[in-house]
Amino acid sequence: MKKLTHLYIVAFLALTLGLMLSCAPANHTHDDQGSSSSSDSSSEDTVSSDASTSTAVTLSGKVQKGPYVQGTEITVREFDSRMIPTGNTFTGPIDDNTGSFSIKGTLAYKVVELSADGYYFNEVSGSLSTAKLNLQALSDLTDSSSVNINLMTHLEKKRVEYLMDSGLTFAAAKTQAQTEIMKIFNIDN
């Protein structure tokens, strides 16, 4: 019995380690100080050449799980073309109890992560949620500055990041992630 328990523990640890390693990006290494560096020597040239000048933007949309309530804070975080955070963030509130927002900031790149952390109207109970819920979305603002944050965008976010680490473009990764999620729920596009 003891040998069987040890076998289960070893198998569990091996499976956990395997899952952790399979999700790590292959082109990044971490040093002892926790900073990351790319193994691609030409990538440092790309950083300085693909950033355009910063431009003022106004992001608008809705946050839904049931509508998020007025005053919920939305954080916008900018990513460069390799999906590395630039350090540029700005925040703004939801404007009304329908989950609408309009946030002004400046961006040098067009890919952003939006994160809403707050209370929402629970359509099942007919009252406000009893706990905060954090929903996220990734968006390319090249063609539109309108972004909605909802369960679909939250579910697709990690998959888009993984697919981009595997070499897909943002647009291709987003399309594939959306298609896969719709298929899981047996919804035809």
Q: What is the pLDDT of residues 24-58, one digit of tens each?
A: 333 333 333 333 333 333 333 333 334 568 999 99
CATH code at 81?
2.60.40.1120
Residue 94 structure tokens: 């939801």
Give the residue numbers spanning the domain of 61. 54-184
Report yes or no on 61 lying in a domain. yes
Report yes or no on 156 lying in a domain. yes
Q: Which of 7-21, 42-56, 77-91 has the highest mean pLDDT?
A: 77-91
- pTM as predicted: 0.70
Mean pLDDT of the chain: 80
Report yes or no on 81 lying in a domain. yes
Report yes or no on 45 lying in a domain. no
CB burial of 69-100 (b: ≥16 within 10 Å; e: otherwise) equals: beebebbbbbbbebbeebebebebebeeeebe
3-state class (DSSP) for residue 154: helix
Contacts 24+ apart (CB under 8 A), 87-95: 94/63, 94/68, 94/69, 94/70, 94/118, 95/70
Report yes or no on 44 lying in a domain. no
Report yes or no on 189 lying in a domain. no
Tell me the per-residue pLDDT of 133-188, one tens digit each, with 9 for 90 and over: 999 999 999 989 999 999 999 999 999 999 999 999 999 999 999 999 999 999 98
3-state class (DSSP) for residue 34: coil
Q: What is the pLDDT of residue 127?
A: 95
Report yes or no on 28 lying in a domain. no
Report yes or no on 27 lying in a domain. no
Confidence of residue 81 (pLDDT cuts 50, 70, 90): confident
The answer to which of 4-18, 59-73, 89-103, 156-170 has the lowest mean pLDDT is: 4-18
> Domain total for the chain?
1
